[in-house]
Amino acid sequence: MSKPLILVTNDDGIYSKGLRLLVKLMQQLGEVIVVAPDSPQSGMGHAITIGNTLRLNETDIFDGLTAYHCSGTPADCVKLAKNVILKDRKADLVVSGVNHGSNTSISVIYSGTMSAAIEAAIEEIPAIGFSLCDYSEEAPMEHIEEFVIKIAQQVLDKGLPKGVALNVNFPPKRNESIKGIKICRQTRAKWQEEFDQRFDPNGRRYFWMAGNFVNMDKGEDIDEWAIANNYTSVVPTQYDLTAYHAISILNKEWEI
Amino acid sequence: MSKPLILVTNDDGIYSKGLRLLVKLMQQLGEVIVVAPDSPQSGMGHAITIGNTLRLNETDIFDGLTAYHCSGTPADCVKLAKNVILKDRKADLVVSGVNHGSNTSISVIYSGTMSAAIEAAIEEIPAIGFSLCDYSEEAPMEHIEEFVIKIAQQVLDKGLPKGVALNVNFPPKRNESIKGIKICRQTRAKWQEEFDQRFDPNGRRYFWMAGNFVNMDKGEDIDEWAIANNYTSVVPTQYDLTAYHAISILNKEWEI
């Protein structure tokens, strides 16, 4: 049996520690190719590059592997990998990350990491976004390795329901080992922004966005609960945004 | 009773025809403030500006209205409007658009127009993204005016279910008038990209993304059907991406 073909990408850029870890681990499971952004793309959501040109260049930073860096977004990387690099071959798995920072809860919609995974799901390729709930560029990651392997292997063995990608978050390194894996729903929460107003050397105003995470959700089946209690969270995530329950409400209530 | 407060934004930028139309129409329904991007932000998905500064400056291009242009994305515009401009006041409605081009089907996840509406929904403000299925900057829009008013008025009168924003698309101007409004689900479809490879004056390769829309969905309850049959489509859209049906599948099938 031939080895599975695994595309590795991320949103922190081709030089990030999380990408290097994912490349190393995926080589244990299959044939790896890498297509990752030139530079960090955090907060890019599901952006794609349609009004500008894209660069895609090969790199030898991953010894012996086919690897490219791209001027675009994570979603662009998946599209270029499929259409320009792989062409007639189809990846068996797309993995994105390991992101340096949490993508639990509402962060999933701002996440470049998850946009790559969702882009792959649209192409009917099983896909996983991995994120570590520690924003440090040098965050310890040894404690997550066995879970990355285990989850990727499950997806290779069993596939995923159509239209679904996985949003996987890991707790930061703590004294105690990670307790296990919980399949969760997305926490109902939001970011409460505070804009830091400053003035440039010419006296003109600008802002930095900053914010606090506000969790309104007391459930124990949510990804935030899993992380707080030292579990790995797995949220099956879909790109059909239809609020089906609202269709009948609108049909009943509206005068149209 | 005081007039409702309506925030108008878009992703095509503050000078677009679609925004001007929305500003004009919303003035019939309430007090309008405008916060829109400096420049076109198409395809920005739910991007936010977290690694860079933001500019926000007042403009007098809308006679007598409070209006700002912003260096950021549509989602940034909503966040800045809420936190920096409105502060203690809360908008009763956020409208985004009218986008020059379709945001039906899978385009919703790439759409800057809809990211502004979804950002408002996260803040529990009723919100609507309006898009015209005609990519021309000078596309005729008179035929959609009554529908923009009717839908915005329904939302002001009846609100929207929690966590839901509306994705409204209008057919292009045809000989026959628009037949009415259909409440729809998001069409199951995708973009089949083709990358146009070129070489710059220094001989270095670059790409333009282009693509064809591929509709795999034969339903008659979908937004693409509505547009093709000259109806206005309304898809209730949510930001909870959890694929609930997949939770039990993973719990049953996985060995974890």
Residues of B in contact with A185 (CB under 8 A): 240, 242, 244, 247
Residue B114 in domain? yes
Looking at per-residue confidence, does B217 or A46 come out higher?
B217
Looking at per-residue confidence, does B1 or A237 come out higher?
A237
* pLDDT value at residue B188: 96
The backbone torsions φ and ψ at residue B192, rounded to the nearest 5 degrees and listed phi first, read: -95, 105
Is A199 in the B-facing interface, judged by CB distances under 8 Å?
Answer: no
Q: Do A45 and B43 touch (CB under 8 A)?
A: no
Cβ neighbours, 10 Å, residue A174? 9
The residue of chain A with its CA nearest to that of B208 is A53
Longest dimension (CA), chain B: 66
Whether B165 has a pLDDT exceeding 70, the answer reads yes
Residue B202 in domain? no
Residue A243 in domain? yes
Is B13 in the A-facing interface, judged by CB distances under 8 Å?
Answer: no
Measured in angstroms, the CA of A33 and the nearest CA of chain B are apart by 19
Q: Which residues contact B1 (CB under 8 A, 6 or more apart)?
A: none
Least CB–CB distance from A45: residue in B45, B243, B247: B45
The residue of chain A with its CA nearest to that of B82 is A193
B168 strand-pairing partners: B130, B234
Is B195 in the A-facing interface, judged by CB distances under 8 Å?
Answer: yes
What stretch of H or E contains B245?
helix B244-253
Q: Do B241 and A164 touch (CB under 8 A)?
A: no
CA distance B167 to A57: 37
Q: SS3 string of B164-190? A: EEEEEEECCCCCCCCCCEEECECCCEE
Whether B1 has a pLDDT exceeding 70, the answer reads no
Residue B159 in domain? yes
Residue B239 in domain? yes
Q: In which domain, by residue range, is A11 found?
A: 5-188+218-253
Closest to A75 (Cα-Cα) out of B150, B74, B243, B43:
B43
Q: SS3 string of B45-75? A: CCCCCCCCCECEEECCCCCCCEEEEECCCHH
Least CB–CB distance from A55: residue in B180, B206, B256: B206
Whether B238 has a pLDDT exceeding 90, the answer reads yes
* pLDDT value at residue B51: 81
Inter-chain contacts counted by CB atoms under 8 A, chains A and B: 222
Q: Which residues contact B149 (CB under 8 A, 6 or more apart)?
A: B25, B28, B29
What is the average per-residue pLDDT within B85-100?
96
* pLDDT value at residue A242: 98
Is A236 in the B-facing interface, judged by CB distances under 8 Å?
Answer: yes
Looking at per-residue confidence, does B40 or B112 come out higher?
B112
What is the average per-residue pLDDT within B228-242?
98
Residue A85 in domain? yes
pTM of the predicted protein model: 0.95
* pLDDT value at residue B244: 97
Provide the b/e sequence for B33-70 (b: ≥16 CB within 10 Å).
Answer: bbbbbbebbbbbbbbbbbeeebbbeeeeebeebebbbb
Mean pLDDT per 10-residue segment, chain A (256 residues): 93 95 98 95 83 93 95 95 95 97 95 96 97 93 98 97 97 97 97 93 94 93 98 98 97 90
Closest to A81 (Cα-Cα) out of B107, B188, B195:
B195
Is A143 in the B-facing interface, judged by CB distances under 8 Å?
Answer: no
Q: Which residues contact A105 (CB under 8 A, 6 or more apart)?
A: A186, A187, A188, A189, A213, A215, A217, A222, A223, A224
Is A30 in the B-facing interface, judged by CB distances under 8 Å?
Answer: no
Least CB–CB distance from B246: residue in A110, A164, A197: A164
Q: Which two tokens stand for residue B3?
A: 């007039």
Whether B177 has a pLDDT exceeding 70, the answer reads yes
**What's A132's domain CATH number?**
3.40.1210.10
Provide the b/e sequence for A3-22 (b: ≥16 CB within 10 Å).
Answer: ebbbbbbbbbbbebbbbbbb
Per-residue pLDDT of B22-52, as tens digits, reads 999 999 999 999 999 998 887 788 888 888 8
* pLDDT value at residue A81: 97
CA distance A125 to A238: 13
State chain B's mean pLDDT as an integer: 95
Contact B130, B97 (CB under 8 A): yes
| Integer CA distances (angstroms), A236 to A108, A185, A204, A246, B245, in order | 11, 8, 45, 21, 9
Q: How many domains, chain A?
A: 1
Residue A212 in domain? no
DSSP string, A118-155: HHHHHTT--EEEEEES---TT---GGGHHHHHHHHHHH
Residue B9 in domain? yes
Q: How many residues does chain B have?
A: 256
- Residue B199 CB-density burial (10 A; 0-12 exposed, 13-18 middle, 19+ buried): exposed
